Amino acid sequence: MSGMYLNIEEIRKDFPILKQEVYGKPLVYLDNAATTQKPLPVIRKIEEVYSTINANIHRGVHRLSQLATESHEEARKTVQEYINAASSNEIIFTRGATESINLIASSFCKSQCRPGDEIILTTMEHHANIVPWQLQEDNTGIKIQVVPVTEKGEIHLEDIEELISSKTRLISLTHISNVLGTINPVSDVIKLAHNYNIPVLLDAAQSVQHIPIDVQSLNCDFLAFSSHKMYGPTGIGILYGKEQWLEKLPPYQGGGEMIAHVSFQKTTFNELPFKFEAGTPDYVGSTALAEAIHYINNIGLSSINQYEKHLLDYATRKLSLIDGMQIIGTSEHKSSVISFLVGGIHPYDMGMLLDRLGIAVRTGHHCAQPLMEVFGIEGTLRASFAFYNTEEEIDILVAGIEKVAKMLS
Ligand code: PMP
């Protein structure tokens, strides 16, 4: 048992998919930054909702609708507590981190920006935190400014400060890079931005499952994340926004639920959080996400963080011993994500052959092409660890890489 801090053997029993074999080999799932596997309580919760209380929520007077509504709103409170938001009005259910960022890009630029105003991003952003702003360059005439990334894969506060001008309206950056694993100094970035009265959006898609987040002490203005990367179901995510900001921003989509009254003369909008939740919400997804949060809380996020850090250190040490190993992203402040290249081997070839050994890693540009360009590469292999991974699995990865490297050289 390689879990120094957690009972990994017991934990793994909760994840049925991990018992599988692929190509006759035990599955070694190391693609957790792309999506995490689901524990039985989450899987069972989905079945339970559909089997017992399924009914469209909010508008129903009947019993099932009331129960489903309660379950959905209880889930909102669970999310609120998880990130310590001041009010459940600040928790908006979306389809995921991507939609959360699109919502802010659209509503914020439309209402708060004039042509020529600037939004600051970093070079290490996922495309989900680049392209929505580029769409706004066309729609509202904003300009994007980009913070450079160092060779180690870090950003410097001085570089951000240099880009801040009287035209800067918002800074949007990732908390943890999905490629480099770098944990950005977001608290310092937020303090710096607030000195200039500039709000900050944090892309927490890669952090909310690894490190405790307290939006009130961080003091971020917006925060976006996805359920499926935190052991919850796909297709649902969260936008957190400070209430005073969300009150100010216009709706993102129109439809049922988000209105107070509709007439062809004048339509008025519902209050928060419903103003941003047009259409039937994913009340099954929200309930199952809450179950995932309970699951994380039962293990304890600080124990998870400690154990994953141990896995990161172990993997970094072992991988570094491989001939021709190049790790991309060498910050001292890293989460359990390792991007790497081996000799001149194309990541896709290595990834395909590792797959044949039952090892699931991701290959490619990881939706971060501007970052790839900075490093002068087309892509990498990426191993990303969750609390159910083990040292033994890292040993299998290392042996697999060595075997494949020998075959291909
Ligand atoms: N931001 C980051 C840093 C990510 O890693 C991802 C997912 N790879 C996203 C945003 C987008 O998340 P989703 O596809 O779940 O909306």
Report CA(294)–ligand 1 centroid distance (Å).
Answer: 22
Any ligand 1 atom below 6 A from CB of 226 = yes
93 vs 89: CA distance, rounded Å: 11
Spatial separation of the C-alpha atoms in residues 22 and 381, rounded to whole Å: 19
CA 384 / ligand 1 centre spacing (Å): 14
> DSSP alpha helices (H): ranges in 155-227?
157-163, 186-195, 215-218
Using a 6 Å cutoff on CB, does residue 126 contact ligand 1?
yes
pLDDT at 72: 98
174 in contact with ligand 1, CB cutoff 6 A: yes
Q: Is 362 left (phi over 0), alpha (psi -120 to 50) or beta?
A: beta
**Closest Cα to atom 5, ligand 1: which residue?**
178
CA 235 to centroid of ligand 1, rounded, Å: 12
* Residue with tokens 């100010």, as numbered in its chain: 248
What is the C-alpha separation between 395 and 383, in angstroms, rounded? Answer: 12
Could you tell me whether strands 268-269 and 259-261 are parallel, antiparallel, or unpaired per DSSP bridges?
antiparallel
Residue nearest (by alpha carbon) to ligand 1 atom 4: 205
Which atom, in ligand 1's list, is nearest to the CA of 176?
3
Rounded-to-integer distance, Cα 241 and Cα 225, Å:
12
Which atom of ligand 1 lies nearest, measured to the CA of 97?
A: 16
**Ligand 1 mutation pick, 126, 129, 238, 289, max ligand atoms within 8 A of CB:** 126
Q: Are 363 and 350 in contact (CB under 8 A)?
A: yes
Atom of ligand 1 nearest to the CA of 226: 15
Query: Per-residue pLDDT for the chain (409 aa), expressed as one digit of tens each?
Result: 345 579 999 999 999 999 999 999 999 999 999 999 999 999 999 999 999 999 999 877 999 999 999 999 999 999 999 999 999 999 999 999 999 999 999 999 999 999 999 999 999 999 999 999 999 999 999 999 999 999 999 999 999 999 999 999 999 999 999 999 999 999 999 999 999 999 999 999 999 999 999 999 999 999 999 999 999 999 999 999 999 999 999 999 999 989 999 999 999 999 999 999 999 999 999 999 999 999 999 999 999 999 999 999 999 999 999 999 999 999 999 999 999 999 999 999 999 999 999 999 999 999 999 999 999 999 999 999 999 999 999 999 999 999 999 999 8
Mutate to test the pocket of ligand 1, among 226, 362, 366 (most ligand atoms within 8 A of CB): 226
The answer, as to whether pTM is greater than 0.95, is yes
Cβ of residue 80 lying under 6 Å from some atom of ligand 1: no
Gap from CA of 377 to ligand 1 centroid (Å): 21
Q: Which of 35, 93, 98 to mutate to test the pocket of ligand 1 (most atoms within 8 A of CB)?
A: 98
**Catalytic residue IDs:** 367
- Cα of 202 vs centre of ligand 1, distance in Å, is 12
Q: Is the CB of 337 under 6 A from ligand 1?
A: no
- pLDDT at position 74, please? 98
Which one-letter amino acid corresponds to residue 404?
Answer: V
| Amino acid sitting at position 138 | D
Cα of 224 from ligand 1 centre, angstroms: 9
Q: What is the DSSP letter of 176?
A: B
Q: Which atom of ligand 1 is nearest to the CA of 177?
A: 3
Burial of 271 (0-12, 13-18, 19+ CB in 10 A): exposed
Q: In testing the pocket of ligand 1, which one of 203, 207, 282 has its CB within 8 Å of the most ligand atoms?
A: 203
Q: Scan for tokens 């001939």, then name that residue.
A: 323
Query: Using a 6 Å cutoff on CB, does residue 182 contact ligand 1?
Result: no
